[in-house]
Structure 1
Amino acid sequence: MHKLSLTAATLCLVAQLATAQIKLPSPSPGASVMQTIGTTDITVTYSRPSLKGRQPFTDSFVPLGKVWRTGANSPTMLTTSTDLMVGGKKLAAGSYAVLSIPQDGNATLIFSKNKETTEATYKQEEDALRVNLTPAELPEKVETFTIGFSDLTDSTAKLNFMWANVKASADLRVDVNANSAANVDKAVAEKPDDAAVLMAAASYNVSKGRNLDQSLTWIDKSIAKQETYRNLYVKSQILAKMGKYAEAAPLAQKALSVGQASNDQIFPFFKDAIQKSITEYTSKVPAAVPDVKAGKGKKKA
């Protein structure tokens, strides 16, 4: 009986091992690369085949003129957190399967709405976007297929595909101002009574010169909840932006006084800017004009 029990346990273990998903080395290991451009997060997830003595873009290995999943194993995926311009064309926020058609001297980059599509199931009517690329020759051979980002600014980047002696790049661009403004409005909508959020939102708006009346409402609400040198200074900036220097100057002076009495370790970083603003606002306050100028309006003796 004891022997039979051991045999049954062994059979169960064998069955478990046979059905379990065991992680083993892959000839084309998975990879993920994430890049933030401005306020936009872009993530590419793909598998990386290696040359291993082969030459890609030939009839026998990733043939020219045919759809390729732009990697190996599962479909290559790109996710963008906001709308994105790729090669001057709009790609809406979301996730897409990335395919391509390599050609001799050019290539077509495809973003498919069907996130499960591969070479065998690809349908052009499921395309979200197609962009033409011009490959360039690399000075050194890249053994393992690589996707990455380069030439980064606060609103642009290049999405690079590199393998063997070939590199193809897509120009990316995001609308940083529109995205930031949307983030500001969303933050206030989600936390309309948060003094810090209201101040930050008003501060962003005044830096861009947008929605000043709304920003004034936000900063007044922030001050009412908790008056600080920072929100007082932001209000002075809004008023100055509106041309109300006579109101902005004393408010900036109050921000300076509150800051000096606050013992806030961050205040020294604001002090010079506040003092400079006081000087600027004061210089722009119109001089008082007397109702009756000297020598005029007086009766003769």
Structure 2
Amino acid sequence: MKKYLLSVSFAMMVVTASIAQRTPQPSSAASVSQTVGITDFTVKYSRPNIKERSVFADSSALAPYNQLWRTGANQPTTLEANTPFWFGGKKVPAGKYALLSIPGGAAWTVILNKNFSVGTDGYKEADDAARVVVVPSSSNYNESFAIGFTNITDSTAYLNISWSAVTIPVSIATETQELTMASLNKAVAEKPEDAAVLQATAGYLLSKGRDLSQALALADKSIGLKETFANLWLKAQILAKLGKPADALPIAQKALTVGAASGDGAFASFYKGQIEKGIKAIQAKVPAVTEAAKVIKKGKKK
């Protein structure tokens, strides 16, 4: 009997422990991830609900004015980034931070603190990585507290802290161009005979409209190593961007021919139409450039 009771007691303890591992929280856990350029941001937080209570006011039970707030509920809210970034105009190293705030009527103070595990308990201003003042804006009513990203480009975004009918937009910026070029230059240095690496670097330079002569040299080297419709079309686009449509046209036409013979499914489904459209645009520029050259030549003869 004793053994039976012990077995039953042990089983109940196991079941109780198992149930205790996962129970609903009053404020649900949430996370949001966003890539800005080549920088990955992740915010982890808990989402309290208003439940007809006062929020963001001098007498609020939730997030009162002029008091440090964990900017969420339960555990400390954290923001993590894998590269350096600008937070409200302040440069911050890559890493994980506690996201805190001090609500206010006319302005909020939004904080990134290096001690991400403590939240408001044991908070020290000396550990702040960034402390910025942000003007709140009105928004649609949100019963549940929320953090998210909007207005995303390849190097900027807004981190929005939203609750009730208030949104606090914190500007985020990344050094996408510098980081990308550093990565591409490193890849070229390590693999100078890799046609795909050379093509990728030339393509990025073209997309940004910078160092086009270097982009052309990289495209030429890529073609010399392994000619494809992709690097031929890339070279044609660079020449067109350099104002040389007459030189670009035959290269673009060759890209079309090489692509048709390649049997590449991506060419038929995507690149063929893009190249054909590009050829028409280049052809439209050739007469104008030729005519301008003739006028310049006549002027010199006089």
Report the Cα distance in structure 1 between the residues aligned to 2:15 and 2:247, rounded to whole angstroms: 77
Which stretch of structure 1 is more off in the superposition, 239-248 or 157-166?
239-248
Instruction: Please tell me whether the aligned partners of residues 52 and 143 of structure 1 are also in contact (alpha carbons under 8 angstroms).
Output: yes
Report the Cα distance in structure 1 between the residues aligned to 2:39 and 2:282, rounded to whole angstroms: 33
Check if 1:231 corresponds to 2:231.
Answer: yes
* Cα-to-partner distance string for 1:152-182 (whole Å, 9 max, x where unaligned): 4454433222223433222333444334434
Report the Cα distance in structure 2 between the residues aligned to 1:233 and 1:181, rounded to whole angstroms: 22
Deviation at 1:254, TM superposition (A): 3.4
Instruction: Please tell me whether the aligned partners of residues 160 and 169 of structure 2 are also in contact (alpha carbons under 8 angstroms).
Output: yes
Provide structure 1 residue ranges, at least 5 long, that are not aligned to the other structure: 294-301
Which stretch of structure 1 is more off in the superposition, 102-111 or 52-61?
52-61
In terms of fraction of residues, the more helix-rich structure is 2
Question: Relative to 1, partners in 2 of residues 1:146 and 1:250: Cα closer, same or farther, differing over 3 Å?
Answer: closer
Provide structure 2 residue ranges, at least 5 long, that are not aligned to the other structure: none
Q: Which residue of 2 aligns with 1:195?
A: 195
Instruction: Please tell me whether the aligned partners of residues 205 and 211 of structure 2 are also in contact (alpha carbons under 8 angstroms).
Output: yes
> TM-score with structure 1 length normalisation?
0.76
> TM-score with structure 2 length normalisation?
0.76
Q: How many residues align?
A: 286
- Between structure 1 and structure 2, the one with the greater Rg is 1
AA of the residue aligned to 1:230:
A
Report the Cα distance in structure 2 between the residues aligned to 1:242 and 1:137, rounded to whole angstroms: 47
Q: Which residue of 2 aligns with 1:296?
A: none
Instruction: Please tell me whether the aligned partners of residues 248 and 281 of structure 1 are also in contact (alpha carbons under 8 angstroms).
Output: no
Check if 1:55 corresponds to 2:54.
Answer: yes
Check if 1:135 corresponds to 2:136.
Answer: yes
Identity in percent: 42
Report the Cα distance in structure 2 between the residues aligned to 1:278 and 1:122, rounded to whole angstroms: 65
Q: Which residue of 2 aligns with 1:121?
A: 122
Q: Which residue of 2 aligns with 1:299?
A: none
Question: Relative to 1, partners in 2 of residues 1:257 and 1:118: Cα closer, same or farther, differing over 3 Å?
Answer: closer
Q: Which residue of 1 aligns with 2:31?
A: 32
Instruction: Please tell me whether the aligned partners of residues 161 and 168 of structure 1 are also in contact (alpha carbons under 8 angstroms).
Output: yes
Map 1:1-301 → 2, pairs under 5 A: 3-17=1-15, 19-20=17-18, 22-57=21-56, 58=59, 60-138=61-139, 140=141, 142-185=142-185, 188=188, 194-212=194-212, 214-238=214-238, 250-262=250-262, 264-265=267-268, 266-274=271-279, 276-277=281-282, 280=285
Which stretch of structure 1 is more off in the superposition, 213-222 or 25-34?
213-222
Report the Cα distance in structure 1 between the residues aligned to 2:179 and 2:211, rounded to whole angstroms: 15
